[in-house]
Chains A and B, each alone.
Chain A
Amino acid sequence: MSGLALSRVVRIGAGAGYSGDRIEPAIELAERAHIDYLVFECLAERTIALAQQERRRDPARGYDPFLEARMRAVLPACTRRKIRIITNAGAANPVAASRAVAAIARELGVHGLRVAAVVGDDVLALVQRRAAEDGLRDACGAALSPEQIVSANAYLGAEPIVDALTQGADVVITGRVADSSLFLAPLVYEHRWSADDWTRRARGAVAGHLLECAGQVTGGYFVDPTFKDVPGLARLGFPIGEVDAEGAITVTKLDGTGGCVTVATCTEQLLYEMHDPSAYITPDVCVDIAEATVSELAPDRVRVEGVAGRERPSQLKVSVGHSDGFVGEGQISYAGPGAVARGRVALEVVAERLRLTGVQHDELRLDLIGIDALHGERLSSGGGEPYEVRARVAARCASQCDARRIGEEVEMLYTNGPAGGGGVAKSTRELVGVTSTFVPRDEVHTTIAWEVA
């Protein structure tokens, strides 16, 4: 601990970097770490569109499927140790999520827990109206009709979370909120940063950016043996961010956990999903990391400084989900001498069969996994012939019926295709496309709904 810091340091643990993330690292943080807040980031770009569809089928659902498991795991320790929880696991239904959390709290004997649901990111009606008036296009430029749009959620900033904390929330559950805002909110609340303190808000947003993917800053998604080695990936510790009143950020993790926090892990995460480093736009502030520095204070303690900020944008980004047809897929493996040649025959046969049988598709993709599936023929050339390959056929179709035919045609290679094919897998899934638009900030109204256990 630094004896120099007279001002209070706020400590935030990251308990999840995505919906399906490991649960034990969050339990370790709740039980052993000196943290004030535990934040769970659980909402990917298209997750909310899928969650909207689920809510339409069942009004009591539409929130993160792992929310209950996570809360059950950490609520006892968080309550005992007075750690407040913030999560976007409310997805398309923060109110139902808050009821579920309150119910778990009662079941665990945690009485009086105050659970706040942030409501108002759902701007479907507004976006449908604008789509009807001005037109809206998908990511590839095709016009979208209002009926095609299944969800529209504005990326809210930190403000409503700050309000919930001010009103005494122990748990704050949101839907679509910018990931960094989940972390910035407790910093604004604790340090009382003013609304136009762009510099400190930018630093808080960067703290959030570093922490939001949890294990990705503590050595997860980093190992490249002999070049970048990290111990203990199977018991990776999740990060703790310590942020002082000036916005100086220290990233660290619990002693005795796997992983590491180094200049290299933090620099990779700092640039993750970053476009122009001098203009990283969030709902709360426009962040500038062009002059930022990353330095090691001690083993597993890394300081990030030099972040600047400018005024936040006047509009909010909206993630729009729309129905986009179906994807059908089939895979089959070949091995031994001539595996690649047989795999190519398999792909040709399926492509011809789809033509002959009149399967309608908007796009067809033929890959040989092990040869060219990830980066295409040009970058993949030069390797020797592998022992085994997996032929993969995928197509996007308007109808589920046609999509199903893709996997069926791959399966039929068993008795009709080249020799020695095995291990067929087939699938179809409904596609929800996502595109972005912007709405004026003042047309988005947020409220807080309370549940008390």
Chain B
Amino acid sequence: MRLLRELAHSRTGDKGDTSNISLIAYDAADYPLLVRWVTAARVKAHFTGIVQGDVVRYELPRLGALNFVLEHALSGGVTRSLALDAHGKSLSSALLSMAIPDTMEETADE
């Protein structure tokens, strides 16, 4: 298993109560691993307790990047959230703390 931080970088943006988190492979060769393992369902599970709505994943193969859109992830949005990080800016670092398998093959973990 490897932390996403070793394979990819990330930035979070916010619009209202919706957060988007990019995940960009350092090496294009690792992009298929991200596509294989970092599914919308896994990201939603990773952010249990934070994201209250759907998670949608967009694939950008020419950029070697994924873009996740998390609905109802910001406690009502930056203007009314009581959170210390009301924009959810630090969510990108939380995504990079996710661990994924080293290969494309299924593992016991799957």
Query: What 0/1 readout, one digit per residue, does chain B (15-32) give for beta carbons within 8 Å of chain A?
Result: 111101010101000000
By a CB distance below 8 angstroms, the chain B residues around A449 are: none
A375 touches B79 (CB 8 A): no
A371 to chain B, nearest CB (A): 12
By a CB distance below 8 angstroms, the chain A residues around B65 are: 267, 271
Does residue A292 face the partner (Cβ distance < 8 Å to B)? yes
Instruction: Give the contact stretch, choosing among A97-105, A239-247, A429-437.
Output: A429-437
B78 touches A277 (CB 8 A): no
B90 touches A374 (CB 8 A): yes
B80 touches A433 (CB 8 A): yes
Partner of B79, one of A45, A293, A377: A45
Q: Specify the main secondary structure of chain B where it touches its partner.
A: loop
On chain A, the number of residues with a Cβ less than 8 Å from chain B's Cβ atoms is 53
By a CB distance below 8 angstroms, the chain B residues around A377 are: 49
Q: How far is the CA of A436 from the CA of B18 in the complex (A)?
A: 13
B82 touches A264 (CB 8 A): no
Q: How far is the CA of A269 from the CA of B11 in the complex (A)?
A: 8
Chain A residue with the shortest CB-CB distance to B77: A139
Q: How far is the CA of A139 from the CA of B94 in the complex (A)?
A: 25
Residues of A402-433 contacting chain B, CB below 8 A: 431-433
Given A270-B63, A272-B11, A264-B84 contact (CB < 8 Å): no
By a CB distance below 8 angstroms, the chain A residues around B13 are: 271-274
Query: What 0/1 readout, one digit per residue, does chain B (66-98) give for beta carbons within 8 Å of chain A?
Result: 010100000011111011110000110010010
Does residue B50 face the partner (Cβ distance < 8 Å to A)? yes
B62 touches A264 (CB 8 A): no
Q: How far is the CA of A396 from the CA of B82 in the complex (A)?
A: 7
B20 to chain A, nearest CB (A): 6
Does residue A66 face the partner (Cβ distance < 8 Å to B)? no
By a CB distance below 8 angstroms, the chain A residues around B14 are: 273
By a CB distance below 8 angstroms, the chain A residues around B94 are: 374-375, 379
By a CB distance below 8 angstroms, the chain A residues around B97 are: 379
A425 to chain B, nearest CB (A): 13
By a CB distance below 8 angstroms, the chain B residues around A294 are: 63
Q: How far is the CA of A209 from the CA of B63 in the complex (A)?
A: 16
Q: How far is the CA of A290 from the CA of B58 in the complex (A)?
A: 9
By a CB distance below 8 angstroms, the chain A residues around B22 are: 267-268, 271-272, 274
Chain B residue with the shortest CB-CB distance to A373: B84
Does residue B60 face the partner (Cβ distance < 8 Å to A)? yes
B26 touches A306 (CB 8 A): no
Does residue B44 face the partner (Cβ distance < 8 Å to A)? no
By a CB distance below 8 angstroms, the chain A residues around B15 are: 273, 275
A275 touches B20 (CB 8 A): yes
Given A271-B20, A375-B90, A365-B82 contact (CB < 8 Å): yes
B35 to chain A, nearest CB (A): 15
Does residue B107 face the partner (Cβ distance < 8 Å to A)? no
Q: How far is the CA of A276 from the CA of B67 in the complex (A)?
A: 8
B24 touches A267 (CB 8 A): yes
B79 to chain A, nearest CB (A): 5
By a CB distance below 8 angstroms, the chain A residues around B76 are: 139-140
Q: How far is the CA of A277 from the CA of B20 in the complex (A)?
A: 11
Q: List 13 A-B contacts (CB under 8 A).
A: A46-B78, A46-B79, A139-B16, A139-B80, A268-B11, A272-B13, A272-B22, A273-B14, A274-B13, A274-B67, A294-B63, A374-B83, A396-B80
Instruction: Give me the interface of B with A, judged by CB distance under 8 Å.
Output: 5-6, 9-11, 13-18, 20, 22, 24, 26, 46-50, 58, 60, 62-63, 65, 67, 69, 76-80, 82-85, 90-91, 94, 97
Given contacts A45-B79, A139-B76, could you give 20 more A-B pairs where the C-beta distance is less than 8 Å? Answer: A139-B80, A224-B5, A224-B9, A227-B9, A264-B24, A268-B11, A268-B22, A271-B20, A271-B63, A271-B65, A274-B20, A274-B67, A275-B67, A306-B62, A324-B79, A364-B82, A374-B85, A375-B90, A376-B49, A396-B80
Task: For the complex of A and B, list the 4 residue pairs with the smallest distance between their C-beta atoms, beginning with the closest.
Answer: A273-B13, A271-B22, A365-B82, A394-B82
Instruction: Give me the interface of A with B, judged by CB distance under 8 Å.
Output: 45-46, 139-140, 221-222, 224, 227-228, 264, 267-278, 289-294, 306, 324, 327, 363-365, 367, 369, 373-379, 392, 394-396, 431-436
